[in-house]
Structures are given as structure tokens and as C-alpha cells.
Amino acid sequence: MELEASVRLFGGKRRLVERVRDESAALGVAQLSWAPTSLAALALARAARSNGFAAPLAEVLDALPLDALSAVAAHRATLARLGCTTLGQVRALPRGGLGRRFDAALLATLDQAYGLRPEAHRWVEIPDTFAVRLELMARVELAPALLFGARRLLLQMCGWLAARHAGVTAFTLRWWHDAMRSKAAGEGGELTVRTAQPTRDVEHLTRLLAEHLAHVVLSAAVGDVQLLAVDVCPLAPPSLSLLPEPRQVGENLALVLERIAARLGPDQVLRPLLCEDHRAEWMTHWQPAAASAVHTSHPPRRCVDIPQPSFVLTQPLRLALRDHRPLYQGVLQLLAGPHRVEGGWWDRTVADGQSATRHVARDYWVALSEHAGVLWVFQTRLDDEQIAWFLHGMFA
């Protein structure tokens, strides 16, 4: 990558080198090197040396072995019989003879590496889809340990996403068991992670994947992992402002809830949805927060003007009676009521294999208990014509 023109953007060459050195380690880069020409840098890296600026380029390159440049390495056997072991010795041979005995690529490569001939590179074309496979350095027995390899792939994926100005909403981690597996273990498995909002934040994706991997039990040791970007959609990065930002407001709530849902299960993180119903059990429909993020643009529904408790019991609790008065931590003092709620024969459901309706006929009262606060109780007639009292909510 030609950087000379934009060195200042990165805060100088030294800073840039440091940043590249620090961040490339996570991608699995083993050797970094830099030199005035790209082929020279490549040759230095192959020879396990890094700095091509320490001495004049010709001196540095002359000492390198033949393997350092691919075009030279192809003729290694012939050159070795001529007595050449370093690039400098090859270059010392007469050019005319070299051009006649070997192909044109050898001379061209040598000239390009030494900076005598301009280098032409092909444009890097970013693939349309992302699917990268990585062979793990050691067999992995536990699913959370897959994260180490997966993080390297995630970094690559986020680089790919940044280059395409896109974010991911679903990605799949696939793994293959190694050859020593038992027959019952199968080929491998896969895990698809979905996010509510498109993102290319490595840290968030890693934590999300870690939560999902914590639930996975591997049936055999894993040798390879592959990461695929399944759903990709365009994502514009937030533009930076010239003026200082007021303050970082913290993490996005959706991201935290997503992480919590990944650990506890999607049914444990809920957002309400008001339903047009008069029966308290079905007034609020709770749905997973991730699914309802789409519907958040609804205008708020109108407020009910009749008294409603702030907590309801999922199952109304039948109250004991004394002298025909309901008891809940003492005798209840009925304050206001009755408020008749009736109907629901149209709401059919299947309970215990028989179809039934959720018909209710209840008289709600606001009651006061000396210990349990203001309660919402109702009186209803049971199937055997008995009158029963139930506790249904609390005005907490």
C-alpha cells in the first residue's frame, strides 16, 4: 500500500509502524518488514529481517539467499550450480547472459526489487462474500476455546466489512471435527449469531459469540473453523464532528440487551406490546426485545383512564375466605368496586387437548391489606357455582 502521501494522517511513520506492529499480531502475522520497494520488503520478511532502511537497499538485498524472491527461487538449482547463493551474486552475473539463459521475469523481478524499474500492482479486489477458513493451531476440545481462532476470523471479517462500508446482522461459525473423531460425532457443527442492528464492532461481536459458544457442547475435538458473513447490509459510520463531542453516552442499550439475551435466552429479555384487550392477562403482550426492536416506531397507544395495577400476577391467586371476606395477609378491606370485566368467548385456545375459551366474568375491587399494600382482587363464579376471590395485581 502506498502510504507516502498520507503519513501525516496516521501521526508520522513511527506511529504508523507501531500501530501496524501492534494490531497485526492479532491477525496472526508472524513477520513484519519494510523497505523502499514492496518486493524488497517481501524478500526481507522471508529472510526473517524487518528493516530495509538500515543500509542502502542494494547492500541489504545482496546478502539475502535465493529463496527470498520467488522468481529467483524458481531457478535456484541452475543458479546454485553456477555458484550463486545470494541475490548479490546473481546480480553480479552479466545481464545479457542472464536474460538469454533465464526467463525475462528473473531480470524484471530483480530490477523491481532493487528499485531500478517501477513496480506495477494489480488493484486489490474485495470478494463479494466473506467465508474464511482457519486451521486451528491445536485441537480444541471445549467450545469457548474456539473463540481464540474465531476472533482472528472476526477481525478479518470486520476489516472486510469496513472496506465494503457494510455491517453484519448475521454470521455463522462453522467447525469441523478432526480426523480422530468417533463415528458418532459427525462432521462438525455450526452456530449462527444474529444481531439486532448491523454492526462491525469487533468487541461486540466477540462478546456475543462468546455468550453463544458458552452454550455449545462439542462432541469431538475441532480442527478447523470457518466464519461466514450471512446477512450483510450497508452501514454508514457515524461521522466525526469537528467540535468535541459532549461525552460518550455509554454503550448502546440494544447491544447490552443482546448480550444479556445471548446468555439468559431470548425469552428472558422482554419488551411490552399493548394489546386492545380488556382482560388484564392479555392487555400486555411481552415479546423478546430483539424481535420488537423493529416496531419501536409506533406512536404510543392511548393511556387507559381506569385504574390499573402496576404489577399483575401471571396466575391469579385464589384467596382464602373468612366470614365471606377474602384474606391475604390479614382481612382485606375492600375500597372501590366492583368493576365488571366480562367477555372473551371469542378468544379460543386449546387446553389439555380440548378447545376452550378464555371467557371471564369478574368483578374487580381495589382492596387494602395492612401488610401487602393496595391490591387488585376479583370475585368470580367458579364452574361449581361457588363464589371465589382471587388476587390479581398490586398497586405498588
Partner 1 sequence: MSLPARRLHDAPASLPLPVVTSAPAATPRALPRDIEAALWRGDQIGVPVTAVVPSGFAALDAELPGGGWPCNSLTELLQPQPGVAEWRLLGDAVRRAVAAGRTLVVVGPPHSPHLPGLQHLGVDERHLVWVRADRPAERLWVTEQLIRANAAGLLLSWLPQARPEQIRRLQLCAQSCDAPVFLCRPVTAASEPSAAPLRVELRFGADWELQLRLLKRKGPTHEGVLTLASVPGGLESILTPRLRQPSRLIAARQARDTLHVVGSPAPRRPAARAAVRSLAAH
Beta bridge partners of 177: 222
Residues 6+ apart with CB under 8 A from 5: none
Residue closer to partner 1 (CB basis): 139 or 325: 325
Least Å distance, CB 345 to partner 1, is 16
Q: What are phi and psi of 82, to 5 degrees?
A: -80, -5
Query: What does 205-241 look like in DSSP terms, one character per residue?
Result: HHHHHHHHHTT---SS-EEEEEEEEEEEEE-PPPPPP
273 binds partner 1 (CB under 8 A): yes
DSSP lists the bridge partners of residue 390 as 318, 378
DSSP 56: -
Position among 95, 340, 348, 359 found at the interface with partner 1 (CB under 8 A): 340
Check: CB of residue 91 under 8 Å from CB of residue 62: yes
**3-class secondary structure, 96:** helix
CB of 210 to partner 1, least distance (A): 13
Backbone angles phi, psi at 389, to 5 degrees: -110, 140
Under the criterion CB under 8 A, does residue 345 sit at the interface with partner 1? no
**Residue 96: count of CB within 10 angstroms of its CB:** 8
Count of residues in contact with partner 1, rule CB under 8 A: 69
Segment contacting partner 1 (CB under 8 A): 81-89, 221-229, 312-320, 350-358? 312-320
Give, as ranges, the residues between 218 and 257 that touch partner 1 (CB under 8 A): 249-253, 255-257
**Nearer Cβ to partner 1, position 78 or 268?**
268
Chain positions 137 to 166 lying near partner 1, rule: CB under 8 A, are none
Q: Which is nearer to partner 1, 102 or 365 (CB)?
A: 365
Interface residues with partner 1 (CB under 8 A)? 249-253, 255-257, 259-260, 263-264, 267-274, 280, 283-284, 286, 289, 296, 298, 300-301, 303-314, 323-325, 331, 333-338, 340, 361, 363, 365-366, 368, 370-374, 379, 381, 387, 393-396
